[in-house]
Amino acid sequence: MPHFLNPLLEPGAPPLRLVNTTRGTVVAQVLQPAFDSAARKRGLLGRDGLPEGHAVVIAPCNAVHTFGMRFPIDILFVARDGRVVKVRHAVPRRRLAAAWGAFAVVELAAGALEASATVAGDIVTLAV
């Protein structure tokens, strides 16, 4: 079934960024896909942070935890069509976050979503 992340699955795809088309802002310049089981389980565990402009995209996924994480994160829960279902800001360690209807989770460094002004209901897409 098609979804907004399909361009990331294409072999030889150019580097893509995540754009909030509703607001005309860039959410993340560099995307790290976590689409297989091992990558989804690992997520951001063991890292000390995320560089500015970077995001981890976990799919399929509608819930994440921050147990074992070393830094707070911003989280976007996104439906198949790219509609933002839920936004969580600066989620600290040892928390759970979930959203019914989400197909993917985008994890960013805390504070990253403020620059893009992304809120629930916005549409995000992939762009070169």
Residue 1 lies in a domain: no
Q: Which helix (H) or strand (E) holds 1?
A: none
Q: Which helix (H) or strand (E) holds 6?
A: helix 6-9
Q: What is the CATH number of the domain that holds 92?
A: 2.60.120.1140
Report yes or no: 98 and 125 within 8 Å, Cβ to Cβ.
Answer: no
67-93 pLDDT tens trace: 989 999 999 999 999 999 999 999 999
**Overall number of domains in the chain:** 1
Residue 30 lies in a domain: yes
Q: Give the pTM.
A: 0.93
**Collapsing DSSP states into helix, strand and coil, what is residue 113?**
helix
Instruction: Give me the mean pLDDT over the 91-119 stretch.
Output: 95
Place of tokens 């989804």: 40
How distant is the alpha carbon of residue 82 from its chain centre? 11
Instruction: Give me the mean pLDDT over the 88-102 stretch.
Output: 97
Residue 37 lies in a domain: yes
Domain of 40, in residue numbers: 6-127
- CA-based nearest residue to 114, from 62, 71, 76, 69: 76
Mind giving me the DSSP string for 12-50? TPPP-EEEETTTTEEEESEEEEE-SHHHHHHTTTT-S--
**CB-based contacts of 97: which residues, under 8 Å, 6+ apart?**
63, 64, 65, 66, 75, 77, 88, 91
What confidence score (pLDDT) does residue 89 get? 97
4-46 pLDDT tens trace: 999 998 988 899 999 999 999 999 999 999 998 887 777 777 7
